[in-house]
Amino acid sequence: MRDTNINRTVLSSLKKGMAAGFGLGCMLLAAVPSNAQNVKIKEGNPVIKDKFTADPAALVHDGTVYLYAGHDEAPNDFHFYRMNEWLVYSSTDMVNWKEHPVPLKPADFKWAKGDAWAAEVIEKDGKFYWYVTVTHDDTHPGKAIGVAVADSPTGPFKDARGSALITNDMTTEYTEISWDDIDPTVFIDDDGQAYLFWGNTQAYYAKLKDNMTELDGPIIPVKGLPNFTEAPYIHKRKGNYYLSYAYQFPEKIAYAMSKSIEGPWEFKGILNELAGNSNTNHQAIIDFKGKSYFIYHTGGIQPNGGSFRRSVAIDRLYYNKDGTMKRVVMTTEGIDPAK
């Protein structure tokens, strides 16, 4: 962008200069900043450039990373989310991504009205379970969480229950808003117990039964997450549990840590700053081939990218010796191929 502006300045000065009878050499000396160079830098981010992709989730399976995202389809003059399908990509180096056929749509849930909002996939006993946010039909007004199942990480996925797993009326004792039951993140602990976390404004969690399609106990509000907006994400490393989440609005990503999946959670601060060009930032964290990665979205594709036309980006994530996470550096260059 900067180089282009400089080039325009040079050209228009040249035209004016030549018209005024100045020599070409004099004009170049006057118009070109001494440090101007046509430097080309690697542009690895955003990682998907031909479609707008949002709310990344990632699954590492058999030496491959599967990247799941909602498809942002809002036209340029439409100022809210328009999302009619989820997408899936795979890669063995996290730089070269292959797109697979559309694996799932809100229309695959007969009880849902639409809205392919944030979602996450996990593998258990050879089956792949995809927890999704959608808008429920008028029998349970508000956002809801459903679960789809497949035999392969790329699908085809089908509704695993024929009904929502979480509906808005299940959480009205904690908040009356109709969009608090969104953004599921699923985690299986070392003892095999699966947990679902989700929320907007208020974070919740519940145990899942062995079949991964039913709750196994009460819905419990999560405490200790200041300025929680949405997008909870659970991961575990070296005996520490991490709950990262979208903080304030427009969103930064913050995180808390605990020695138990059930808390108490200790707030640790900001992990990623404002994207700046998107109100939301929605993160996923994985380890792959010995390195840690922070996957998120920005409004990075210009000129039309923004809060409703987002794009998935990937940068490295680093830990401190005490297990806390270093602040993410969002880059244009992105990552080197994972080896």
- Our CB check for ligand FUB shows the closer of 115 and 159 to be 115
Query: Given candidates 53, 167, 202, 280, which one binds ligand FUB under the rule CB under 6 A?
Result: 280
Using the rule CB under 6 A, which residue among 108, 159, 230, 315 binds ligand FUB? 230
| Binding of ligand FUB by 117 (CB under 6 A) | yes
Q: Work out the burial of residue 182: count CB atoms within 10 Å of its CB; fewer than 13 is exposed, 13-18 middle, 19 or more buried.
A: buried
CA pair distance 126, 327, nearest whole angstrom: 35
Residues in the interface with ligand FUB (CB under 6 A) total 13
By CB under 6 A, tell whether 133 contacts ligand FUB. Answer: yes
Strands 266-272 and 284-288: unpaired
| CA–CA distance, 253 with 244 (Å, rounded to integer) | 7
CA 330 from chain centre, in angstroms, equals 13
Task: Tell me whether residue 27 or residue 165 sits nearer to ligand FUB (CB atom).
Answer: 165
* H or E stretch at 207: strand 202-208
Shortest Cβ 38–ligand FUB spacing (Å): 36
Other beta carbons within 10 angstroms of residue 95's beta carbon come to 15
Quick note: the x/- pattern for ligand FUB over 164-193, rule CB under 6 A, is: ------------------xx----------
SS3 of residue 138 by DSSP: coil
Q: In this structure, is the dihedral angle defined by the CA atoms of residues 70, 158, 121 and 185, taken in order, positive or negative?
A: positive
Does the footprint of ligand FUB cover residue 81 (CB under 6 A)?
A: yes
Token couple for 23 = 């020599």
* Residues 54-73 as x/- pattern, contact with ligand FUB by CB under 6 A: xx--------------x---
Q: Which of 71, 207, 252, 282 is close enough to bind ligand FUB by CB under 6 A? A: 282
Would you tell me which residues interact with ligand FUB (CB under 6 A)? 54-55, 70, 81, 117-118, 133, 182-183, 230-231, 280, 282
